[in-house]
């Protein structure tokens, strides 16, 4: 195991590791990771490039779908694809990953050279997000948030399923990692707080969407997204978007279900699109003390913020 002091340090925070290691400053982790800006990241991320992402020259018509992992990223991508194709995503013979490349995992030149309007997915907290160099070049962001316990459950199955994480732990151990910010994309609480601080400033270039609202009132959410992107929409397009972004449809859609990444899945892994439900966490959080501790961390981290009022943790 490599020691933490063998890696570059900036402002007292270990910045990155160029080889696959299971580690966290002073506390080795049970999965393969690397560190960028003090955050545990997927090993496909180029941490040196991540340090420069805030300087990326954005354009006013750029759009970033920004989420903490397993918060509805793929679902929102499909909704946007449906809106852009007037309810006919099948007319675009590209996988979602080709249409919405993962910004942090792609070479900078590839991102710069994409034709406008450029659209990306991102798992960056606000302070690491691409923002451009002036107000005139600022882009738009769609930020999707999901109940943290559902995120925790979904991310557990995700990290168990992909071979490159090499995670073999059980759920109670994973909850402790999640609460400590020692999972992919770091601390959920800090991540969502950075984005909702923008909400307090009434930043009109950020659209906030709850995963649960996508489930419970899809027409309203689809209309909001279309209006935010300044794309035309009518009731017929909304109907088609609801149908073709449904979990059942997407699970069978080989342009949306990540089936093209099957070589990366472990044998007997849960499918990438596992359940897509609200409240599945209640089937996993059986340890009362751990559940109580989760609630305490939520309150401690998010007290006084808008996020605190979004979810009932009981």
> Which residues are identified as catalytic?
123
Check if the beta carbon of residue 101 is closer than 8 Å to that of residue 110. yes
Spatial separation of the C-alpha atoms in residues 290 and 27, rounded to whole Å? 21
Beta strands across the sheet bearing 206-210: 119-122, 63-67, 140-145, 206-210
Residue partners of 175: CB distance under 8 A and separation at least 6? 152, 285, 287, 290, 294
Burial-class residue 44 by CB neighbours within 10 Å (0-12, 13-18, 19+).
exposed
Spatial separation of the C-alpha atoms in residues 20 and 164, rounded to whole Å? 9
Q: How far is CA 266 from CA 20, 257, 274, in A?
A: 18, 16, 14
Spatial separation of the C-alpha atoms in residues 228 and 53, rounded to whole Å? 24
SS3 content of the chain, % helix, strand, coil (to 5): 45, 10, 45
Check if the beta carbon of residue 223 is closer than 8 Å to that of residue 241. no
Find out whether the peptide bond into 208 is cis, omega within 30 degrees of 0: no
Q: For residue 116, give the 3-state DSSP assignment.
A: coil
Spatial separation of the C-alpha atoms in residues 100 and 82, rounded to whole Å? 13
Question: Which residue has tokens 């490599």?
Answer: 2
């Amino acid at each position: 195991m490599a020691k933490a002091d063998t890696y570059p340090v900036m402002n007292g925070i270990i910045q990155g590791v160029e080889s696959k290691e299971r580690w966290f400053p002073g506390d080795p982790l049970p999965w393969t990771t690397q560190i960028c800006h003090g955050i545990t990241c997927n090993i496909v991320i180029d941490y040196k490039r991540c340090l420069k992402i805030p300087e990326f020259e954005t354009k006013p018509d750029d759009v970033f779908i920004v989420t903490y992992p397993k918060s509805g990223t793929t679902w929102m991508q499909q909704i946007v694809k449906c809106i852009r194709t007037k309810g006919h995503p099948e007319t675009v013979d590209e996988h979602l990953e080709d249409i919405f490349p993962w910004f942090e995992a792609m070479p900078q030149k590839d991102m710069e050279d994409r034709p406008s309007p450029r659209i990306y997915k991102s798992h960056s907290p606000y302070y690491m997000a691409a923002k451009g160099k002036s107000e005139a070049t600022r882009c738009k962001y769609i930020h999707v948030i999901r109940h943290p316990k559902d995120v925790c459950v979904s991310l557990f199955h995700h990290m168990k399923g992909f071979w490159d994480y090499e995670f073999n732990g059980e759920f109670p151990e994973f909850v402790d990692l999640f609460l400590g910010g020692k999972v992919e994309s770091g601390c959920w609480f800090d991540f969502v707080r950075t984005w909702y601080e923008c909400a307090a400033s009434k930043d009109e270039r950020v659209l906030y969407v709850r995963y649960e609202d996508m489930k419970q009132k899809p027409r309203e959410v689809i209309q909001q997204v279309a209006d935010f992107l300044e794309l035309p929409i009518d009731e017929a397009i909304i109907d088609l978007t609801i149908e073709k972004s449904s979990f059942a449809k997407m699970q069978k859609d080989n342009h949306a279900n990540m089936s093209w990444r099957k070589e990366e899945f472990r044998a007997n892994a849960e499918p990438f699109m596992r359940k897509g439900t609200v409240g599945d966490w209640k089937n996993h959080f059986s340890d009362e003390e751990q559940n109580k501790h989760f609630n305490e961390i939520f309150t401690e981290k998010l007290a006084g913020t808008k996020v605190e009022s979004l979810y009932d943790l009981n």
